[in-house]
C-alpha cells in the first residue's frame, strides 16, 4: 500500500510539471516606422516582421508610420531588426 501511494504522488507531481501547450500570451504592440512612402513599403515591412516566430499578423500604414504587430513571444528587438532588414527605421 505505501508503494502504491508513493507512486500516485509522484505521478501527480509529474503531471503538474507538464508544460501546457498553446498557453502563450498573445499581445498586440504598436510601433512607429520611419521612411515608408507607399503601399510597397507597407508590404516590405509586413513581410519582414511577419517572418518573426510567433507573429500572427502585421499591419503597416505608410501615411502614419504606424505598424501594429500581433502575436506571442516576440520582442521589440526582433521587430526593430526586421524593420531595419526591410530598409526602414523603428522610431
Interface residue list for Cu ion (CB under 5 A)? 37-38, 40-41
Residues 36 and 49 sit within 8 Å (Cβ to Cβ)? no
CB of 40 to Cu ion, least distance (A): 4
Q: Please state the closest distance from residue 35 (CB atom) to Cu ion, in A.
A: 9
> CB neighbours of 14 closer than 8 A, spacing ≥ 6?
none
Q: Which is nearer to Cu ion, 45 or 69 (CB)?
A: 45
User: 40 in helix, strand or coil?
Assistant: helix
**11 or 40: CB nearest Cu ion:** 40
Amino acid at each position: 500500500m505505501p508503494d502504491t501511494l508513493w507512486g500516485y504522488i509522484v505521478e501527480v507531481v509529474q503531471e503538474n510539471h507538464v508544460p501546457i501547450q498553446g498557453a502563450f500570451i498573445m499581445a498586440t504592440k504598436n510601433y512607429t516606422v520611419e521612411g515608408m512612402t507607399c503601399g510597397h513599403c507597407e508590404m516590405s515591412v509586413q513581410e519582414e516582421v511577419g517572418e518573426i516566430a510567433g507573429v500572427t499578423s502585421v499591419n503597416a500604414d505608410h501615411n502614419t508610420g504606424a505598424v501594429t504587430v500581433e502575436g506571442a513571444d516576440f520582442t521589440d528587438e526582433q521587430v526593430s531588426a526586421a524593420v531595419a532588414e526591410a530598409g526602414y527605421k523603428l522610431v
